[in-house]
Amino acid sequence: MRFPKTIRLDNSDPQVFDRAAGPAEWAVSGAFAFADLQDDALTGKTKQAFANGFLGTSSFGWSTFVCVAEISASAFEDVIIAVADHFVTVYGAPDRAAALPRAREEAEFAAGLCDHPVNTLLCVERSLTNAGIVERFRTVRPAPEPSHAPIWQIVED
């Protein structure tokens, strides 16, 4: 199975987000973090996370880019548990059991974004409309054969 993994192409994420995800964290879209925010609350670093951030599932910090990576079944289940626990701790879900179905939906949505070759970069553009949050995802595919030195490297855990 493929799943998004955070990647840093430069050192900008710690500068533009209140909390930056570390490199090589499994990530979900994270749009749920903004579900109750009003347009006037989307300023500064919160606006940057809303507009262009993926949510890392270890630090629950933000990343501008993720790349498509292979994930094991056990790591996928660990992501679901981490997101469910985050729903309990931060968003007031009554317990893990109650949060697990929604966490699984988040993880399955993130996996669904990864119908691309491994190492494809993904980025998100979010906007707030009268209908709610709208997300658009873009991809940057790796070159089929390197014509020059690579600018990033994926390190598997």
- pLDDT, tens digit (0-9, with 9 covering 90-100), for 3-18: 999 999 999 999 999 9
d(CA 127, CA 50): 8
- Position 145 confidence tier, pLDDT thresholds 50, 70, 90: low
pLDDT band at 157 (very low <50, low <70, confident <90, very high): low
pLDDT exceeds cutoff 70 at 153: no
The yes-or-no verdict on residue 123 having pLDDT over 90 is yes
Split at pLDDT 50, 70, 90, the class of 37 is confident
Give how far Cα 83 sits from Cα of 19, 36, 146, 147, Å: 17, 18, 36, 39
Q: According to the model, what pLDDT value does residue 141 have? A: 80
Q: Please determine, for residue 156, whether its predicted confidence score (pLDDT) is greater than 70.
A: no
- With tokens 């993130």, the residue in question is 110
Mean local confidence (pLDDT), 72-76: 98
pLDDT at 86: 98
Q: What is the pLDDT of residue 154?
A: 64
**Mean pLDDT within 100-109:** 98
Question: For the chain, what is the mean pLDDT?
Answer: 92
